Structure 1
Amino acid sequence: MKFTYFFCQSVLFGALAGLSAQPVLATPPLTYLMAPVATNVDHSSFDRLLKKHVNEKGLVNYKGFKADQKEFSQYLELLSKNPPAASWSKQEQMAYWINAYNAYTIQLILNHYPVQSIKDIGSKIKIPFVTTPWAAEFFSIGGKKMSLDAIEHGTLRKKFNDPRIHFALVCASISCPRLRNEAYIAARLDRQLDEQGQDFLNNPVKNKVSKSNPQLSRYFDWYKGDWNENGQSVVKWVNRYSKTKLDTNANIGFLEYNWNLNEQ
């Protein structure tokens, strides 16, 4: 019995020793097991062009953009082929669409340059039911024909419900908000939008703010539904950014809109 016990014990130890001598296969890194994740669009080329061709007042050197059309077209192609994915954050998607709106607006002007106003383009469009340049489907994103209206009203206003986009979208006109000479990016988007609000409300060319009888941009009339959502109001939004605060019962009027081209 003792012999049998010691024999079995030695066989067991030998087997275990043999197992321990076998090479241990390394577990594959987690990165090899994960599906590829969609990456955000790099807006750095647009950022360079804005820094080069837009001054501190937001006025645009359209001739400069035309001279750099090759680089600009490459950025537009990047936008066209890489629509936002569901995996992108809200900030990444908003930054993409704001940059797309502003970039394609610049391209629309270049397509018809020289013009005195973006509104002059409308009469040249010979497409049934298209009466404004904002309704023209002159570019594609993700294989789908798109218009500026589709970006602003069908995507940004509809999906994200953030009235600050009105401080960022630029319609190539003097009364529009200032075109930033940098691209919007997700990491700084909230700060960029707030800075746009401050710049827009405190610019006497675009808003004449006084306590009781302010003359505001038409934006606060055209999009009053946006400003009044979620318990907000035009007065609250103005007071959020303006150095001069409105009275709650201020008699608000609106300035005439200057559609002249925002050109240097």
Structure 2
Amino acid sequence: MNRHVPTALTLAAALVLSVVASRHAVAGTPVYVGDAKAKLVPMHTIDHSSWNKLLAKYVDSDGRVDYKRWHASGPDQTSLDNYLKHLSTASIAADEKTTHAHRLAFWINAYNALTIKGILREYPTTSIRNHTPKLWGYHIWHDLKLHVGHQPFSLDEIEHQVLRKMGEPRIHFAIVCASIGCPRLLSEAYVPERVDEQLTTNAKDFFSRSQNFRHDVSGKRFYLSAILNWFGEDFGDGQSEVLRRIAGWLPDSTAQRAALGNAVSIAYLDYNWQLNAQSAQ
């Protein structure tokens, strides 16, 4: 066979590779939000009141979001964009007045607001997982980036490189991936003055829901959200430490005693990736 004369098979293979290569060239193209050139201010001066108003308007007590109505409102989509631009003005440099509570509230709000922005860009959709491809293409957790302090941060980076490094495991009951299996999205902004209280309230709410926690008393077993499987190391080293850490957030004294005594085995519940939309949608 003349090696310089391509066969139909090699031509087909070359065509496939060409298509893949061209798709890969645009795969994962970042989508930036916020303001890359914002004039910076200390993080403790950031005002979360506009985010608070949007949450109060579109999020119910179960953390379900009225994406349909929000998506249909040009002014409120603009309000979200303006809030994200406001977040961009925060300096990430240390300063004397920016406390751990300021940073915690800021980055939780940033994560949740960026997630909502990402879903509204794709709406209508049934799950955030529709926008997390395994091979190529726009990936919402990696490619949607918020400028803060002149640096772009993806959802993945905010979660793993910022929030998890703050040593506060209750973030896992506060940051929301727009799914039913997530903790509820509070219908209010996190604020430095109350962030500790808000985190504890949401942690207790999280374990009060059967989708996240069940206690088989006779079988001496806890059924826990997959979040505790994925991020167990943030709660302690090994089962006994994890159980002691979550004990105070469990819904009744029987479960709390079982956790403190490490007197149960653990199984993990299936995670529900369906969109956390209000039922009318």
Alignment TM-score, normalising by the size of structure 2: 0.74
1:174 is aligned to 180
After superposition, give the CA deviation of every residue in 1:179-205 in whole Å (9 maximum; x if it has no partner). 000000000011001001100011112
Larger displacement relative to structure 2 (193-202 or 229-238): 229-238
Residue deviations 1:125-144 (CA, integer Å, cap 9, x gap): 955xx7x4212243322222
Q: How far apart are the structure 2 equivalents of 1:72 and 1:169?
A: 17
Tell me if 1:236 matches 2:244: yes
Which residue, 234, 250, 261 being the options, matches 2:275? 261
Q: What corresponds to 2:62 in structure 1?
A: 57
Measured against aligned partners, the alpha-carbon deviations of 1:199-228 in whole angstroms (never above 9, x if no partner) come to 001111222134421110011111111111
Q: C-alpha offsets along residues 37-65 of structure 1, whole Å, 9 cap, x if unaligned? A: 83521000000000000001100011233
Q: Is the 8 A contact 1:65 1:72 kept in 2?
A: no
Q: In the alignment, is residue 214 of structure 1 matched against residue 228 of structure 2?
A: no
* Cα distance in 2 between the residues matched to 1:253 and 1:109: 31
> What is the rounded CA distance, in whole Å, between the counterparts of 1:112 and 1:60 in structure 2?
14
Q: What is the CA deviation profile of residues 102-129 of structure 1, one whole-angstrom value per residue up to 9, with x for unaligned ones?
A: 00000010111111000001239955xx
Distance across 2 between alignment mates of 1:210 and 1:189: 32
- Greater shift, 86-95 or 65-74, is seen at 65-74
Which amino acid letter does the alignment assign opposite residue 216 of structure 1?
L
Q: Indicate conservation of the 8 Å contact 2:84/2:146, yes or no.
A: no
Higher mean C-alpha displacement, 192-201 vs 117-126: 117-126
Alpha-carbon distance in structure 1 between the residues aligned to 2:68 and 2:275: 13
Cross-structure match for 1:199: 205
Ranges in structure 1 where 5+ consecutive residues have no aligned partner = 1-36
User: 1:230, CA displacement in angstroms?
Assistant: 11
Which structure has the greater CA radius of gyration? Answer: 1
Q: Which amino acid is 2:148 matched to?
A: I
The change in CA–CA distance for 1:78 and 1:85 in structure 2 (over 3 A counts) is same
List structure 1 runs of 4+ shifted beyond 6 angstroms: none
Equivalent positions of 1:1-264 (< 5 A) are 38=42, 39-66=44-71, 67=73, 68-87=76-95, 88-123=98-133, 126=136, 132-158=139-165, 160-211=166-217, 212-228=220-236, 233-242=241-250, 243=252, 244-245=255-256, 246-247=258-259, 248-264=262-278
Where 2:147 maps in the other structure, the secondary structure is strand
Does the 8 Å contact 1:54/1:181 carry over to 2?
A: yes
Cα gap change, 1:232 to 1:190, in 2 (>3 Å): farther
Q: CA deviation at 1:85?
A: 4.1
Contact 2:211 2:269 in 1 (8 A): no
Pick closer, same or farther for the CA change 1:260–1:43 going to 2, 3 Å.
same
Deviates more, 1:56-65 or 1:106-115: 56-65
Figure out how many residues of one structure are paired with residues of the other and give that number.
Answer: 224
For the residue of structure 1 that corresponds to 2:277, the secondary structure is coil
| 2: CA distance, partners of 1:196 / 1:210 | 23
Aligned CA distance change for structure 1 residues 139 and 124 (closer, same or farther; 3 Å):
farther
Give the TM-score, by structure 1 length.
0.79
Post-superposition shift, 1:83? 3.7
Given that residues 117 and 173 in structure 1 are in contact (C-alpha distance below 8 angstroms), is that contact kept between their aligned partners in structure 2? yes
Q: CA RMSD in A?
A: 2.2
Percent identical residues: 38
Query: Matched residue of 1:58: which SS?
Result: coil
Contact 2:147 2:153 in 1 (8 A): yes
Structure-1 separation of matches of 2:106 and 2:240: 26
